[in-house]
Structures are given as structure tokens and as C-alpha cells.
Amino acid sequence: MILSNVGFFSLLLGLLSSFAVFLCSVLNIKNNLLKLEKKIYKFLTIQFLFVIIGFFILLYSFLISDFSNETVYNNSHTTKPVFYKITGLWGNHEGSLLLWLLVLTSFVLFFFFSSRDEPKNFRLYTVIFHQIIVIGFFIFVLKTSNPFDILFPVPSEGLGLNPILQDPALAIHPPILYVGYVGTSIIFASALAAMVTGYVNNVWAKNLKKLVLISWTFLTGGILLGSIWAYYELGWGGFWFWDPVENISLMPWLSLTALLHCISTLEKRDLFKNWSIILSIVTFMLSVTGTFLVRSGILNSVHTFANDPSRGIYILIFLFVLIFISFVIFLIFENKNSENKKEIFFLSKETSVLINNWFMIYFLSVVLIGTVYPIFLDVITSEKISVGPPFYNKLLIPFLIPFFLFMSVGPSMNWIKTNLKFKVSHIYYFLFTSTATIITIYVLSQKDFLIIILIFSLLFLTIKTIANFLKKNTNHAQNVSHLGFAMLMLSILFNSISSTEIIKNIKVGDSFVSKNEKITFEKVKTNEKKNYSSIIGTFEIKNNNNKIIKLYPEIRVYNQPIIATSEAAIKTTLFKDRFITINLIKDEQLFNVRYQNKPFMIWIWISTLIIIFGGTFAIFGKKKNYT
């Protein structure tokens, strides 16, 4: 109980030091005092330390299962393994906001320490704008979602953590995702500050690019972990469902990707100033909108923790304030950063970047409209519609073909102007891609025209990207990420067109045949664990060459809270995943068995890791001036 009070007061003190930072920064803009700047350092550190204290107190409360704390009581249980006691901290609304605050304050501290060489007023304005966000979130946490609410009398046992959240990939995905999400706040603040101080130039772009890369890389990692969780834990054999919550993480990713390309142009050519600013603002707005949609309970998903309307309203107001501030600042200071009137040639890297942004914004608008349209329609006409995969497939897939083709040639363009010369190698690329496409469609026996063109454009992209590695003066980080992207799209395409599935209701001892494999349901046994008991089935998969694979799918019944989940058994090989889930059928001896063949599953994860590696490479790699 004392602990919770200490935690609450440390957050309160954190809020006070945020005000202090804000005040010091405002004062320091007019009077150039070294003393004040030192004070900003001090208060920023203090603010960070108080959040850390709050964070660790909550962590400790989770570890010792202190049920006098309401958050712990609602989301933990004494029988839970230590790992899930720790991760239970952010498996709920209050705790995850504390984590959000922690990342927020550490980012501004990191920014202030790492930006010593930049103009003083720019730094101060960045801190001021960022502190507005920090203060907003402090008040949000303290007022609507205090993680240190006290329960009296103290309950003897907690309510437990939702079992489908008890998974390693999911347990670590919030911190990674949050670094990506919250990182956009400093990009937002920096963009506004650069506008106000007239600092929107190539030096700013160069420094901001690093922050963009950090956010982008972590966001990619967070999305990857979320997908891995969906694949292994949800047990449907899919990894992306166009679920609103997935869309919400994809939207800032798309605008960050656009920003990443745009900011490179600003860095190299001093072009697209306003557009870079708009993208920086939009990215952060999308992050906050995501928080609003998830936390308000408007969306129906695993991530909707508690449906408390006051939280939604608070974030909504906060969002409008931020939009209003950025809009006003944009209008006032737009002229200060007048656009360079340089000529843009059609065949140039500048055009490629514009085209990239064009498609990114289009994809973004598809995802955004698809996510929010049903909400608005529900409010206006109280009619519920579902916007699912068919919508996204129809609007995205046809546009992917030109996108891939542009992406193949874009990186080979030069800045300013490219002279198109006829080279024999162009014919080679074309012939090579065509041959590879013909072989592929023959093997997959595809007759769908759209898919054939998709395969062609993707193979062309892959081949061109690989060829880029061999060039002199090439940006390897970019090549790696582009190659990862091409591989990702190829794996997803092959996976989606050639996955197969068999669903059977069978007894123990029965077997069934799938093309060249015989699957036998050998036995079931039961198992007792600390936090769940389970039924484990044993399956034997025998192929024509008498090679045997054993798989052990489970049905788990968790004790706190009592929920049954189906755990898939997955055998991963380089070329395909074999995926089995079992389910009980009421009042019968039968089990519902679902056997899936999922080609190239592992390549989806590997290629995303390659994309992430490209990002990491760009952050830490040596700075070179690419042509």
C-alpha cells in the first residue's frame, strides 16, 4: 500500500518536473542563459528518474503479487510464471501507459543529450513541443488511468492475465512497438520546432533521419512480433487479418516509410520541405489516433483493455489540441521555410521518391478509410458493416504491380537527372525475369492473369535489387531493406496462393491422407502445469519416403481466468510449415483436427528480419555520401 502511494507521488513529481522543464525552456528562448540550460538537463533527468521509479514500483508490485494495487489485482495471479508477472505489467491499460510514458521521457532525454551541435532555439522548441505531449500523457495517466489505485480490503488472489497474452512473442512486443510509436513524438516535436526556427534544411533532415530510422526499425520489429504471435498463438494459421488493431500499427509504418524516403531527398537536395513536415506531423497523429481507437473501446479486439469512455474523450481532446497547434504553426511559419524552386526532372531520384510517397499515401488512405469508415457509418446511420480482406485485396493488390515496378527502377536513378541510355543489360533483365516467371507459374500451375503479373513484377524487383548490390557507390542499407521487402512480398504471395488445409473430425487411432502424406492420430494424454492443464495429442506424419514427423498439438485450459485455448503444433522447415490444431467436439469422442501446409512461412519472418537489419545497418553503418 505504501509502495503504491510512493509510485503515485513519484508520477506526480514527474509531472511537476515536466512543468519545470517546460518553463525553463520557454524562459531560455528569450534569455540566453547557460544556467537555465543546465536546469533543463537536470529537470529532464529528474522527470525521467521519477517515471523510472514509478515503473519499477509497479514492476515490483507485480513480482511480489501485491494485490492491494488494483492494476496488479486485475491482471496477475500468484500461480503465474515470473516472466509473465513481469510482462503482465504492460498487458493492461494502466501499465502500458506507464511504459508509454517511460519511452516518451527517455526519448526527449536522448534527444536533448544527442543534439548538442544543433541550434539552441531549435533544441529548446523541440523540448517545449515534446513536453506538451509529455504533460498531456502524465495528466492522462494520473487522472484517468492511475496504475497505483489502492484496493481495501486487500484481496488474497488476483484475477489473472488473459491466457492468449501469455506468449513470449506477445509479451515482448509492446516495448518494441512502443519505441516505434512513441519515437514518432520526437519527430513531430522536432518538425514543429524546425518550422518555428526556420531550420527546415538538409542539416535538420540529416539529424532527423536517424530518429526516423530508429522509430521505423522498432515499429517494423513490433509488427513482426505481433504477426508471429498471431501465427503461433491464435491457432488459425494466419499471420495478418486486417484486424483494426493491426491496421493501426501499419498506418504509422506506411507514413514513416514515406517520411524516410522524403527526408533523404531533403538531406541530399534540399527539396520537399513542407511535405516532410506534413509527414512528420501526420505520422505522430496516426500514432495518437491509434491509441485513441484502441483505448477508447471503439474497436473490438484483444487490445481493448477496459471500455472507459472518459479515456477515449480525453485522448480525442488531446488529439484535437495537437492537430490545432500543428495546423496553426504550419500556417504561420510556412513562409519562413520557403520551398526551393529547383527543377525536378522526370527521370530522377526525386521523382522516384515522389512516386514512392504517392503510393505510400494511397496505401495509407486505403488502410485508414477501411479502418475508420465502419465506425463513422455506425455512428451516422447505426448500420454495421465489416470491412475485411476482400476490400483490402481489391484496392491494394492491383496497385502493388506498378508500385513494384517503380520500386525496381527507382533506386537506380540518379539525383537531379538520369540519362536514359539503351543498354544490353536491360534486355537481359527482362528475359531473365520472364524466364523465371514462366517457370514459377508453370510450377504453381497458375492461370490467374493478375497473379502472373504480380509474380513478374515481384521477380523483376528482386532481380533488380540483387543487381544493385553489385554496383559501385550503392547504398547497401537501402538494398538490404528493399531486398527484404521483395522477399517478404514473394513469400506472402506464394504462401497465400499455395497453402492447403484439411479439416477432419476423427477419433484417436484414425488416420487420413493428404496428397503424399499420411497423418495418424496416435494418442492423447493429459498434462498438469502450474497455470493450466492440457490435453496433448500425438500425431504422426509419414510421407512417401517413410520420413516421420511427430507433432503435439494441445488444448489448454487455463485456471486463472478459466479460458480454453488451442495451441497449434508447428513443424517448421525451410520450404514449408506443417501446422496442426485440435479442438474438442461437444458430447462426442471425436476431435476436430485441422492440418495445414503453409509454404514459405519462415521466409516471411526471415525477410522481415532482413528489412529490420537494413534499418539497423542504416542507423549504425558508416556515413557515406551516396550518389
Partner 1 sequence: MVKKKFIIFLFLFINFFGNCFSQTEPYSKLENDIAKNLRCLICQGQSIYDSNSEFALSMRIYIKDQIDNGYSESQIYNMLVKKYGQWIVYDPGYSKKTFLLWFIPILFFILGGAIIYLKIYKSKKYEKFF
Distance from CA of residue 122 to its chain's centroid?
A: 29
By beta-carbon proximity to partner 1, the closer residue of 16 and 467 is 467
By beta-carbon proximity to partner 1, the closer residue of 200 and 541 is 541
Establish if 434 lies at the interface with partner 1 (CB under 8 A).
no
Which of 419, 516, 526, 546 forms a contact with partner 1 (CB under 8 A)?
516
Of residues 533-562, which lie at the interface with partner 1 (CB under 8 A)? none
Establish if 298 lies at the interface with partner 1 (CB under 8 A).
no
Closest approach of partner 1 to the CB of residue 29, in Å: 35
Closest approach of partner 1 to the CB of residue 514, in Å: 5
By beta-carbon proximity to partner 1, the closer residue of 149 and 517 is 517
Establish if 501 lies at the interface with partner 1 (CB under 8 A).
yes
Closest approach of partner 1 to the CB of residue 479, in Å: 18
Closest approach of partner 1 to the CB of residue 573, in Å: 9
By beta-carbon proximity to partner 1, the closer residue of 504 and 542 is 504
* Nearest one of 262, 249, 133 to 209, comparing CA atoms: 262
Q: Is the dihedral of CA 379, 383, 386, 390 positive or negative?
A: negative
Query: 577: left (phi > 0), else alpha (psi -120 to 50), else beta?
Result: beta
Q: Which stretch binds partner 1 (CB under 8 A): 81-89, 169-177, 492-500, 523-531?
A: 492-500
Q: Is the dihedral of CA 240, 242, 244, 250 positive or negative?
A: positive
Task: Work out the end-to-end distance of the chain between its first and last CA atoms, rounded to an integer number of angstroms.
Answer: 62
Establish if 278 lies at the interface with partner 1 (CB under 8 A).
no
DSSP 8-state secondary structure symbol assigned to residue 69: B
By beta-carbon proximity to partner 1, the closer residue of 44 and 486 is 486
Closest approach of partner 1 to the CB of residue 356, in Å: 11
CA distances from 145 to 61, 94, 302, 462 (A): 17, 5, 18, 48
Distance from CA of residue 129 to its chain's centroid?
A: 24
> Binding string to partner 1 for residues 346 to 385, with x set by CB under 8 A, is what?
x----x--xx-xx--xx--xx--xx--xx--x---x-xxx
Cα gap 190→174, rounded to integer Å: 24
CA distances from 82 to 60, 63, 77, 169, 287 (A): 11, 7, 10, 16, 31
Residue 581 phi, psi dihedral angles, 5° rounding: -125, 150
Contact 349, 414 (CB under 8 A): yes
Establish if 502 lies at the interface with partner 1 (CB under 8 A).
yes
Establish if 341 lies at the interface with partner 1 (CB under 8 A).
yes
Distance from CA of residue 30 to its chain's centroid?
A: 40
Cα gap 498→510, rounded to integer Å: 27
Q: Which residues bind partner 1 (CB under 8 A)?
A: 236-238, 241, 243, 300-302, 341-346, 351, 354-355, 357-358, 361-362, 365-366, 369-370, 373-374, 377, 381, 383-391, 395, 399, 428, 432, 435-436, 439-440, 443-444, 494, 498, 500-504, 513-517, 566, 575-576, 583, 586, 592, 594, 597, 599-600
